[in-house]
Structure 1
Amino acid sequence: MTSTSGNPAVEAPDSAPARGSGLALFVHWPVRELWLSWRFIRNDPWAGFYPGVVFTLAVAFHQHLPPGRFTVIALASVVYFWLYLYTFCLTNQLAGMPEDRLNKPSRPLVKGDVTLRGTLLRVTLAFLAFPLTGWALGVWQWALLWQAMTLLHNLSGARHWVIKNAVIGFGVLPMLAPAWQITTPLTADAWRWMLALAIPIFFLIPVQDLRDMHGDAELRRTTFPLAFGEIFTRRFLCAGFALLPLVDHFLIIRATSATPLAWPAEAATAALCWTIAWRVPHRRTAAYDHRTYRFFEYWYTAVLATAFIAL
């Protein structure tokens, strides 16, 4: 199934239907490509798609845009951040096939649901479409920066924890800056939000690596848990997540709003942080650690959602 030789069974996933009307082909192809792109990104929308769209909507909401303009901004954000995540996942899974065979065997490229040649074609088209979309929205600089960070991470940098964590942590900037700038120019508040999130994420993203330690060791990748030891990493992350609500309080939510709704928002985000802090010391299974990391993604989206009341 994973061979890319001339076997018709392998080429079929990327091939268009051989028969049918032009209208049927016109409808089938984009629907199929949209579904396939979802297959590539479906493990990561809480990290790379929903947060950007949510933050865009929050900023647009506070600009009091008319309904028509708000709808255009929302649709543009959906397209932009879909491509933001799609370009990352395509190159990540293309470069990480050996790792995915160990850690994530359900991904489409490893399963043989798409060919290597077809994936390379999609990478080329997506890497063209993303900066062009950014240019149309006035955020092309951030699109190019994210593409450079994507290539750094996926082609070599992810093998060492410093580069991997820096790209993911400071990848917050080329996500949230265009989410804000699509609607209005960046302000001091925008930079405070971005840095207040980027720095904690840099230190806490090793929670992502706990689930894949076996595969990372087999592939000789130097992740944070492998570099500093699993016990230290779990204790470090437990302390970090226990303290993370202080960042939410002093630098994000209460720093910008005195509305009574800020307190329930803080309580919700703090509950997610403390859930992670409680879970992370317990070494059980890779699936358990994966769920713990999911709570971190939920926190990221939730704290950005507080921008509806905190900006």
Structure 2
Amino acid sequence: MRNQPHALGHRARWFGELYGNRYGRRRGNALIAWVLLEVRITTRMMGDNFPAAVVPPALFTGAACVHYQTSGSTTLLRVATSALLFFAFLYVFDASNQARGLEEDRINKPYRPAPAGLTTTQGLRRRFWSAMPLYTLLGWATGTLLWALLWQAVIVGLHLLSDPRFYFVVKPPAMQIGIICQTAAAWQLVAPLDRTGWTWALTTGIGYNIAMIFEDVRDMDGDRRIGRRTLPLLIGHWPVRIWFAVVLSGLPFALYILLFAPSGADVTATAVCTLVVTAMNWTVAARSLLRRNKRADRATYQLYGLAFGATLGCGLVLL
């Protein structure tokens, strides 16, 4: 009998460890499943716009580091911070946009999280409102709060308050403000905006933004379904395609005159940057005219984002 309490105690500890481990595993498995689900939702939510919204400003932050000759470790830290900041920049945009655009996405982009059944529009709204204060905090911590608040105001106006019938009037200036928020904040992560920073931010921001209306060519069926009025629906997709191709075809000349040649870089670096940017822009322009279906237009838009990124990335060798 003396050994009974010990035996019972040992058995109790054994059962406790057994069920505790199982419960711990269940909790661990649930956490892993939740993380994987959020990664899947985020990937599908942000995949379309990632090349245009996160890659270019991160490269521009790197260009600012080169311009100010920061150390290697500081450059890596600034670029990583830039990627995180613009991840949040895009997250709040896409979450709010897709929370409002379920019917459109069912037709245009059924792989997105809400039409794919990975979450609901209410779930996207919760993610949006949860991410907004985090994005504000990031803006404050990185010294880019003004640009973060301006971008948040644009998102609220465009996705929460604007009438879809007047989307073609509201969207272009909203996107112009957004792209300036991108480039200005990317440079300001390193140093205050000087003449060089403003020249690059405004030239690239305005140049690539006036071509951005091509984005709406991909979404004509869904926009028509929900009553959203965009330029391709008002004037047809061909005028928009031609405008897009003309702008991207001429843009390398403007970039060379306004940015590349005055940079003071050696002739070889200037020539290589000019050729790369010209080849990318002209390829995108040609695709917009020759490859005309939803899948091709989606790829063309993503290549357009990469061309924008390549242009800002030229600052790494020219500044």
Q: CA deviation at 1:26?
A: 9.7
TM-score with structure 2 length normalisation?
0.84
Equivalent residues in 2 for 1:129-148 (5 A)? Answer: 129-148=134-153
Residue 243 of structure 1 is matched in structure 2 by 250
Q: Matches of 1:161 and 1:116 in 2, distance apart?
A: 24
Residue 3 of structure 2 is matched in structure 1 by none
How many aligned positions are there? 294
216, 225, 229: which one aligns with 2:223? 216
Q: Matches of 1:74 and 1:241 in 2, distance apart?
A: 27
Q: CA deviation at 1:71?
A: 3.0
Equivalent pair of 1:241/1:273 in contact (CA under 8 Å): yes
Residue 19 and residue 303 in structure 1: after superposition, are their counterparts in 2 closer, same or farther (change >3 A)? farther
Residue identity in the other structure for 2:211: L
Equivalent pair of 1:99/1:215 in contact (CA under 8 Å): yes
Q: CA deviation at 1:175?
A: 0.7
Equivalent pair of 2:98/2:121 in contact (CA under 8 Å): no
SS in 2 for 1:162: helix
Q: Matches of 2:198 and 2:128 in 1, distance apart?
A: 31
Residue 261 of structure 2 is matched in structure 1 by 254
Residue 270 and residue 27 in structure 1: after superposition, are their counterparts in 2 closer, same or farther (change >3 A)? same
Equivalent pair of 2:103/2:222 in contact (CA under 8 Å): no
Residue 281 of structure 1 is matched in structure 2 by 289
| Larger relative contact order (CA 8 Å, sep ≥ 6) | 2
63-72 or 51-60: bigger deviation: 63-72
Residue 41 of structure 2 is matched in structure 1 by 36
Q: CA deviation at 1:307?
A: 0.8
Residue 95 of structure 1 is matched in structure 2 by 100
Q: Matches of 1:290 and 1:74 in 2, distance apart?
A: 27
Cα shift readout 1:40-95 (whole Å, capped 9, x = no counterpart): 21221111111111111221233222333233223222221110111111001101
Residue identity in the other structure for 1:92: N
Q: Which runs of 5+ in 2 are unaligned?
A: 1-21
Equivalent pair of 1:166/1:202 in contact (CA under 8 Å): no
Q: Which runs of 5+ in 1 are unaligned?
A: 1-17
Normalized per residue, the structure richer in helix is 2
Q: Matches of 1:74 and 1:211 in 2, distance apart?
A: 31
TM-score with structure 1 length normalisation?
0.86
Equivalent residues in 2 for 1:5-84 (5 A)? Answer: 19-21=23-25, 24=28, 28=32, 32-84=37-89
Cα shift readout 1:11-64 (whole Å, capped 9, x = no counterpart): xxxxxxx95359837963556534532332122111111111111122123322
Q: Matches of 1:287 and 1:96 in 2, distance apart?
A: 19
Query: RMSD value over aligned CA atoms?
Result: 2.3
Residue identity in the other structure for 1:199: I
